[in-house]
Structure 1
């Protein structure tokens, strides 16, 4: 039987014990509760996944609530598109730069304590951000940056705990459940944020509605898993790991752009076509945030499930199934995202249909990319690898994309008319389709190396101790 003798400090110290006790030394062993691959009971392992999924759901709700009420925030602070984009960029930069620190700590220290402190801090600064006045936009930027501290402590460590608890197909299934929380939580962030804003008549309340749920789970009652100190650099620098990370970076770029700007773009399209009234005072018409949120939830569920199932079926034919599925998802998403942006001025229904299809294909990547990382990196350094991927994908992805889209929109805009507010944002969002195609190419390149890198990771034997 496998057992963890680390005692809650550092290092996985596994040993193999003999058979279980018998009655007077005779007969079959006494039945024990089924255990997962880590030695943790199967029931406790599943409870752990449920808790991690719930917190991840709140994580992404918090991340995209601001986007759900963005027109109100722009009106409240009287800010431009470029400054609006900074709200997401500041958060992602904080999250990105702190991820290596928490990845390092997660591979060496008590993971439960790290995440408890992070969740408490995250809740505290979210509450603080809901009391900011209209003369202090800088304070909102500051608190959004501090939210990244708490989320980095959680997002870096949680997937590696699941990877340590399960193996093979079970691990893939559990990771897919965990990553369902990304699109579902994102969509609920738009929906809950906009609806709370409508009811309260104040966007500040959208940031307060989830705090009791976040804090109530700050005790983090899941098992503590720790790992040893050894990590060979060449596993982090394997071709499949680097190429898939660049591929995932393009996913982050596109999702980051759409997450912040899609509801605002749909609202401006409605104003441009005369279907909506311009926002002259808060609260604004946030119905597009609700619809986009619902689409995000549904497409996320369909996309993640489709990606996992397509990968499973394709694995019977080729061991390169995972990167090929990711490549197909991005290459199929690109034309539908382009059509959704271009049809916004002609047909609202067609726009939503193309957004639905584009987001579905885009969401096929989440669980599959996570699974690829975990089987090309040795178990004792998965938190560090997660942190590296977070840094690179956010640095070149959603840390810059919301701000970049806003700056490009401002540079294209020739006047403050409603037509140019729509046109400039429309043209800047077309960049997403091009980036998606580039991402597909990175995953196709990953397929060339995935077999050899997986073999090296699975057969790695550390030298020294």
Structure 2
């Protein structure tokens, strides 16, 4: 008699068929019959531990990311401060977004636990190496930040899909909100860590050493806790540009990606230049004196880091909860929440810019409100992607979204704001350059409004590719069995149902309802 554990390699023991799971607003639709998969029956504790590990890694990821803008003692802050400090950030972003499609491709085809663990280990090792680079070798500092971006891409493309595999119904939105809380919290901790370590030790290298020790713990946790089984795999390992091109047929995916790009544009500019803007506003008001030191705005970095942490937690939780409640009465609730948040955030940022000359307290308050509403969208945008893109394309879709949002978003916005203010070292020039962020925020809200017009149709289109008929069964004790499934032209080349069930693809792959027999038996058509 065959040992049941022999079926573990098929991937069916811990995952349902690739398209069985519905996402976001689709969860209210009918559920399918029972499958052999037991992924939903795994102990809830395991799922929560998985989310905990991923959240920890996400926290360290963004903390390491924002160490550079958090402190101005790094090797490039010699002259033309506004532009040069940005170059390190740009190097990281460019490598990150270029590597994302490659890891998205791998995430849809190979073991995601290995991809994620290897990525965390790689960026941890590079971070440790960064802490030993002297200022005379600043080109190596550039290189190290680029390599960290590559390691980060391996993590960012697969982590949300792993979380989506663990939970159904409203729990998924809640878990995604917890995951995305780590973005603002990690960013704020990056500011705090960089400024604190530089002030305490007098050496900027120690910020990276602390980050390394924390990220190394993430490697150990990921290897120990994460389940190696994965639910959706494309069995065709060949690269096809059609895998990216077909995603553009989802208007919801396109418009929500552009909305996320606007969010990234604003977030990147604020993260890089708000401490400097606050310092210049204080100089104009006469509350502080002009300073020739490079670390004059370190106190503003600490304050802004605290604001980022607090508003990030409140914003992500509030946005996810508002979307969950509105979704019950309006299927377009998710993009409407995102659009509203972008419009209100743009208004708050505009008021903050106008009040900066008169009241620094009011400026802090409205910047905090602007960040609060920006943070409300992180989990909701990902939830939109998860239910308008079929599970077998989700890592690829996330990778494409990363590429576009960074290429057109925070890869250029800090430079644009810095370039405008570079014409004159003054509060007024930086204030004018921040107006760009206000306009981009309004445009982003418009993109999310456009998403609301298409989200229902795209959700239904994604459901067409669900396995709605029959169930996939593992052939008991070598007996010949069949699989009744739905093969469409979009996913036919993967032959995923037969390959997962029998270990080899069927002899024929056609569209339509088909009975796929094992061991090359004839194919019947119904």
> Corresponding residue for 1:390?
402
> Corresponding residue for 1:97?
98
User: 1:156-193: CA deviations, max 9, x gaps?
Assistant: 11001011111221111111110110111111111122
What is the Cα deviation at residue 13 of structure 1? 7.0
Contact kept? 1:307, 1:368, Cα under 8 Å = yes
Aligned CA distance change for structure 1 residues 398 and 119 (closer, same or farther; 3 Å): same
Please list, as runs of the form range in 1=range in 2, the aligned pairs for 1:296-445 lying within 5 A after superposition.
296-410=308-422, 412-413=423-424, 420-445=425-450
Contact kept? 1:333, 1:358, Cα under 8 Å = yes
Q: Which moved more, 1:278-287 or 1:52-61?
A: 278-287
> Corresponding residue for 2:461?
456
Contact kept? 1:77, 1:135, Cα under 8 Å = no
Q: Which moved more, 1:375-384 or 1:270-279?
A: 270-279
Q: Which moved more, 1:197-206 or 1:151-160?
A: 197-206
User: 5+ unaligned residues in a row in structure 1: which ranges?
Assistant: 16-34, 414-419
2:299 aligned residue (287, 292, 295) = 287
Contact kept? 1:67, 1:263, Cα under 8 Å = no
User: 1:4-37: CA deviations, max 9, x gaps?
Assistant: 956288999747xxxxxxxxxxxxxxxxxxx985
Contact kept? 2:77, 2:294, Cα under 8 Å = yes
Aligned CA distance change for structure 1 residues 263 and 227 (closer, same or farther; 3 Å): same
User: 1:90-146: CA deviations, max 9, x gaps?
Assistant: 111110000000111111112111122211111122222233333333332221111
> Corresponding residue for 1:163?
164
> Corresponding residue for 2:210?
209
Aligned CA distance change for structure 1 residues 347 and 111 (closer, same or farther; 3 Å): same
Please list, as runs of the form range in 1=range in 2, the aligned pairs for 1:78-97 lying within 5 A after superposition.
78-97=79-98
1:69 aligned residue (54, 68, 71) = 71
What is the Cα deviation at residue 364 of structure 1? 1.0
Contact kept? 1:129, 1:140, Cα under 8 Å = yes
Q: How many residues align structurally?
A: 436
**Counterparts of 1:258 and 1:4 in 2: how far apart (Å)?**
53
Q: Which moved more, 1:390-399 or 1:259-268?
A: 259-268
> Corresponding residue for 2:58?
56
TM-score of the two chains, using structure 2 as the length reference: 0.78
**Counterparts of 1:36 and 1:175 in 2: how far apart (Å)?**
22
Contact kept? 1:85, 1:405, Cα under 8 Å = no
Q: How much is the aligned-residue C-alpha RMSD, in angstroms?
A: 2.4
Please list, as runs of the form range in 1=range in 2, the aligned pairs for 1:54-203 lying within 5 A after superposition.
54-70=56-72, 72-73=73-74, 76-203=77-204
**Counterparts of 1:309 and 1:264 in 2: how far apart (Å)?**
34
**Counterparts of 2:282 and 2:487 in 1: how far apart (Å)?**
60
TM-score of the two chains, using structure 1 as the length reference: 0.88
**Counterparts of 2:88 and 2:283 in 1: how far apart (Å)?**
24
> Corresponding residue for 1:264?
276
Contact kept? 1:243, 1:445, Cα under 8 Å = yes
